[in-house]
A and B are shown apart, each in its own frame.
Chain A
Amino acid sequence: MKRTKRLLSVAAVAAVATVALTACGSSGSTAKSETSTPAASSTGSTFAGTVTVGSANFPENVLLANIYAEALKAKGIKVKTQLNIGSREVYYKLLESGSITVLPEYNGALLAYVDKSSTAKTKDDVDSALATKLPSGLQLLNPSAAEDKDSLNVTKANADKYGLASIADLSKVASQFTIGGPPEFNSRYIGTLQTLYGLTFKGFKPLDEAGSLTINALKGDEVQVADLFSTDSSIVTNNFVTLADPKTLFGAQNVTPLVYKAGIDSGVADVLNAVSAKLDTPTLVKLVSQVVNDKKDSDQVASDYLKSVGLS
């Protein structure tokens, strides 16, 4: 009798504590609404399934994914987000298998991934090459005018000291310079830097996705050349010099939704294309800055932007 009472009180304490803590624990989304209840809207979509919007592991891509997600939700489509997954090498497989159904991509970088030997550099060339090279289950929707390119940057001091204005100029100093970028930069671009520009660097240092680690590494002379993203305002604030790319190592990189065809329908595609139609580089730079510098919430910035352009 006493023992039963004791066991019951133990169970009660443990249960209360656990329930209190895990009340919302089992759902896996960090967005304000989880598998979100669609907003009542005028042009409701007939898509019955759930679109899973994924993103790579850097703030701009997370922002773009949020923009797609909020735009879809505004049209009454159910959305689940999987943000900050990792590099393309990680999420691409998930997209191919349909675990993710929509993801904001950059056409040039995507092409370099699916076809290492491709020489297409302009937007149109890249898009047509991708149309043939992508697996049949995936499709690129309409590209937007907004572009975010990888870019090689040096400090102003080094640029002045060695007279560096373009990537080709690095041949003077490459053997003394360490180049830094995200871990996957090594396998993606180091070889091409050699064949295209004849550059062999002293070494490669794996950092992060053009984030604080890379910026600090460049500032602190841990690396002398760094891969940063062209929409990053920190290039300007830190007085970095972006080296010109005359041989187009980095081709067109327009923001384009990559979709798993079986996971969406034409209504979903229309919403995403409408977003792409409105997006341009200056806007993207501004929005990214709100997230990175003003520390605003990515999904809030996304929905505010969509409201301002009448897409929600």
Chain B
Amino acid sequence: MDWAWVADHLDLIWRQTGRNAYLGLLAVAIGLLVSLPLGVACARFRWLYAPISAVATALYAVPSLAFFVVLLDYTGLRDRTIVIPLTVYTLSILVPAVVDGLSNVPENVRQSATAMGFAPTRRLLTVELPIAVPVVIAGLRVATVSSLSLVSIGSLLGDNFGGLGYFFTQGFQLPFPTEIWVGIVAVVTLALVADLVLVMVGRLLTPWIRRRKRRRITLLRRAKAGTAGT
């Protein structure tokens, strides 16, 4: 492990991390933007879910390199050649997450909202989606981690398209294992940091869950203390 090399190339490593983050997160962001309306539609019109799910699954099975290669002729040597397949892959994780999250909303909650006079859109935005947040965030975490990790395959199309994957192809070509290790550690770190951010975002968006948990723990403690003698 050539630590001198690592010390010398910190700015390159940082730049590639940024590039990797950009490509991966962009794909997830677009994926979410597409999955939200799609998921809402599938939750509302159940018959839509099966075909959309089937298409997303089939597309997810397409090996990423094949996807990149086929697009290369149409979209050329540009970022979108990498981002489009990555976005498509997030759909098979995010659409089910949105649908699952929405179907987890208890029926009585939905009915209460309607009874209180909420129009369907307002109900969706202010009641159902917030309740769906934990499940959606869980899906987002998986999609983000996999997306950030998948960006590295783009390096097979050129130095500019693999983010941290640049270190994999360089490291393998020369060969220079240090570079490969650097790439691996950087990708994993990036993914775990992104995951952590999402966990925090999830917590911030759902303060009622923490309140509920705290209440439940207090109740449990009291109950245990009560049965201590038996």
Chain B residues contacting A295 (CB-CB under 8 Å) are 2, 5, 174, 176, 178
Chain A residues contacting B172 (CB-CB under 8 Å) are 208, 211-213
- Check if A44 is an interface residue, CB within 8 A of chain B: no
Please tell me if the beta carbons of B19 and A25 are within 8 angstroms of each other in the complex: yes
Contact A85:B77 (CB < 8 A) given known A21-B17, A30-B159, A212-B174: yes
Measured CB to CB, the closest approach of chain B to A42, in angstroms, equals 29
Please tell me if the beta carbons of A22 and B25 are within 8 angstroms of each other in the complex: yes
Please tell me if the beta carbons of A82 and B158 are within 8 angstroms of each other in the complex: yes
In the complex, which residues 178-219 of chain A have their Cβ closer than 8 Å to any Cβ of chain B?
A: 208-209, 211-213
Compute how far the CA of A209 lies from the CA of B25 in the bound complex, rounded to whole angstroms: 32
Compute how far the CA of A21 lies from the CA of B148 in the bound complex, rounded to whole angstroms: 12
Compute how far the CA of A30 lies from the CA of B207 in the bound complex, rounded to whole angstroms: 42
Chain B residues contacting A22 (CB-CB under 8 Å) are 18, 21-22, 25
- Check if A309 is an interface residue, CB within 8 A of chain B: no
- Check if B161 is an interface residue, CB within 8 A of chain A: yes
Compute how far the CA of A26 lies from the CA of B80 in the bound complex, rounded to whole angstroms: 11
Nearest-neighbor residue (CB-CB) of B82 within chain A: A28
Tally A-B pairs: CB < 8 A. Answer: 111
Contact A17:B22 (CB < 8 A) given known A86-B158, A212-B175: no
- Check if A143 is an interface residue, CB within 8 A of chain B: no
- Check if B188 is an interface residue, CB within 8 A of chain A: no
Compute how far the CA of A295 lies from the CA of B170 in the bound complex, rounded to whole angstroms: 10
Please tell me if the beta carbons of B207 and A6 are within 8 angstroms of each other in the complex: yes
A-side interface size class: 35 or more
In the complex, which residues 60-119 of chain A have their Cβ closer than 8 Å to any Cβ of chain B?
A: 62, 81-86, 90, 93-94, 97, 99-100
Stretch at the interface among A7-15, A124-132, A133-141, A256-264: A7-15
Query: B2, B17, B169, B178: which has the most chain A beta carbons within 10 Å?
Result: B17
CB within 8 A of B204: which of A6, A94, A213, A292?
Answer: A6
Please tell me if the beta carbons of B173 and A10 are within 8 angstroms of each other in the complex: no
Chain A residues contacting B72 (CB-CB under 8 Å) are 90
Compute how far the CA of A186 lies from the CA of B161 in the bound complex, rounded to whole angstroms: 27
Measured CB to CB, the closest approach of chain A to B55, in angstroms, equals 29
Compute how far the CA of A148 lies from the CA of B161 in the bound complex, rounded to whole angstroms: 28
Contact A25:B21 (CB < 8 A) given known A30-B159, A82-B77: yes
- Check if B12 is an interface residue, CB within 8 A of chain A: yes
Count contacts on B: residues with CB < 8 A to the other chain.
44
Chain A residues contacting B159 (CB-CB under 8 Å) are 30, 62, 81-84
CB within 8 A of A28: which of B79, B175, B194?
Answer: B79
Chain B residues contacting A47 (CB-CB under 8 Å) are none
CB within 8 A of B174: which of A57, A100, A291?
Answer: A291
Please tell me if the beta carbons of B158 and A83 are within 8 angstroms of each other in the complex: yes
Compute how far the CA of A14 lies from the CA of B194 in the bound complex, rounded to whole angstroms: 9
- Check if A29 is an interface residue, CB within 8 A of chain B: yes
Chain A residues contacting B19 (CB-CB under 8 Å) are 24-28
- Check if A40 is an interface residue, CB within 8 A of chain B: no
Compute how far the CA of A124 lies from the CA of B194 in the bound complex, rounded to whole angstroms: 58
Please tell me if the beta carbons of A6 and B23 are within 8 angstroms of each other in the complex: no
Chain B residues contacting A28 (CB-CB under 8 Å) are 19, 79, 160-161
Nearest-neighbor residue (CB-CB) of B173 within chain A: A211
In the complex, which residues 15-55 of chain A have their Cβ closer than 8 Å to any Cβ of chain B?
A: 17-18, 21-30, 32
- Check if B205 is an interface residue, CB within 8 A of chain A: yes
- Check if B113 is an interface residue, CB within 8 A of chain A: no
Interface string of B164-206 (1 = CB under 8 A from A): 0010010011111010000000000010011001001100110
25 contacts between A and B (CB under 8 A): A13-B200, A14-B197, A17-B193, A17-B194, A17-B197, A24-B14, A24-B18, A26-B22, A30-B12, A57-B173, A58-B173, A59-B173, A59-B174, A62-B159, A81-B160, A82-B160, A84-B159, A86-B156, A94-B76, A99-B76, A100-B77, A208-B173, A211-B174, A292-B174, A295-B2
9 extra interface residue pairs, beta carbon distance < 8 Å, beyond A9-B204, A27-B19: A13-B201, A21-B17, A21-B25, A23-B18, A26-B79, A30-B16, A82-B77, A84-B159, A212-B173
8 closest residue pairs by CB, A with B: A25-B22, A21-B21, A28-B160, A212-B175, A25-B18, A22-B22, A83-B159, A24-B18
